[in-house]
Amino acid sequence: MTNHPPNGSLLLIHSHYGEPPGLFLLAEERGDAVIVRERDLTPAHFTAARGLITTSHLDQLGFMDHAPELARLMARGGRWFFNGHILRPFLAGLGSYAPIAKARRADLVLTRLNEHPIFAGIDQPSFEENKGVAGFYGRGHNPLPQGALAINGIGPEKQPIDWEWTLPGGGRMFSHAGNDIGGMGGPNPNHALVAPRIIAWTMGEI
């Protein structure tokens, strides 16, 4: 285990084979980020962390084993940026992902519901398409926990595809129910814009 900064590290769980994602490599430049492959993840990584980012490749069955450490991270005011479809109740109050059945283009419209520092100044519909193709951003939603704030909605019913939740016991979670956002160098320049903001939010700086 590396030396951790006194204020806590940014824990980045690397869940797939190969190079870590661009967002993680960007975060690594800060000096307080720790990239850990899932096989090597221990409770001590959570104990040392202030913030946590997980990707859509997360082994959610294995991650459930870390639910107690995750709860303690949140209880001391930590933050977690989650990408993907929730399968398990990692924290009390979370529900399972709801996909849009046979999504058509109209089902994939995005709407800003409440302002958020990660998305400040970004026109949310500009996230809808990559090269004219819709659906990469996400195709459903993770249910909004009680007391959470919906940030972006999807489809005509504006289901909460993005939300931020201040937990009753402390700590904050951001849920993005789709492909990882903040990837660098992709076809949609919005991702490069939000990448440093996701890192800053996760560390409680914005």
Partner 1 sequence: MSASGKPVMAIIDGGQHYHHDSITREPFKDFFDHVVYLRDVAKTDLSAFDILIIPCRTNAYFLAPLSGQLQAFMREGGTLVAMGETFPDSWLPDIGFRPMQTNFWWWLTPGADLGLRMSDPGHAVSRYLGKDDVTFHLHGAFEPLHPNQKSLVETAEGECQMFEDVVSYAPGRLVATTLDPFFHHGAFFMPATTRMLAGMLPWLSESEAERKAARTA
Q: Which of 135, 149, 158, 204 binds partner 1 (CB under 8 A)?
A: 135
State the first-to-last Cα distance of the chain, in angstroms, to the nearest integer.
28
Give the pairing of strands 9-14 and 49-54. Answer: parallel
Q: Which residues contact 84 (CB under 8 A, 6 or more apart)?
A: 54, 55, 56, 57, 58, 60, 176, 177, 178, 180
Q: Rule CB under 8 A: is residue 95 a binding residue for partner 1?
A: no
Q: Rule CB under 8 A: is residue 57 a binding residue for partner 1?
A: yes
Shortest distance (Å) from residue 37 CB to partner 1: 6
DSSP tag of 142: P
Q: Rule CB under 8 A: is residue 17 a binding residue for partner 1?
A: yes
Shortest distance (Å) from residue 121 CB to partner 1: 27
Closest CB to partner 1 among 63 and 201?
A: 63
Q: Rule CB under 8 A: is residue 100 a binding residue for partner 1?
A: yes
Q: Rule CB under 8 A: is residue 62 a binding residue for partner 1?
A: yes
Q: Rule CB under 8 A: is residue 38 a binding residue for partner 1?
A: yes
Q: Judge whether 34 and 132 are in contact, CB under 8 Å.
A: no
Q: Rule CB under 8 A: is residue 197 a binding residue for partner 1?
A: no
3-state DSSP call for residue 88? coil
Tell me the residue type at 111: T
* Cα-based distances in Å from 19 to 10, 23, 54, 171: 18, 11, 15, 30
Burial class (CB in 10 A: 0-12, 13-18, 19+), 132: exposed
Q: Rule CB under 8 A: is residue 59 a binding residue for partner 1?
A: yes
Query: Which of these segments, 52-60, 74-82, 110-118, 153-161, binds partner 1 (CB under 8 A)?
Result: 52-60
Q: What is the spatial distance between Cα 108 and Cα 178, in angstroms, rounded to a whole number?
A: 12
Q: Rule CB under 8 A: is residue 37 a binding residue for partner 1?
A: yes
Q: Rule CB under 8 A: is residue 179 a binding residue for partner 1?
A: yes
Q: Rule CB under 8 A: is residue 133 a binding residue for partner 1?
A: yes
Query: Which of these segments, 21-29, 34-42, 69-77, 161-169, binds partner 1 (CB under 8 A)?
Result: 34-42
Report the interface residues with partner 1, using CB under 8 A.
Answer: 15-18, 37-39, 56-63, 84-87, 97, 99-100, 103, 131-133, 135, 139-140, 179, 187
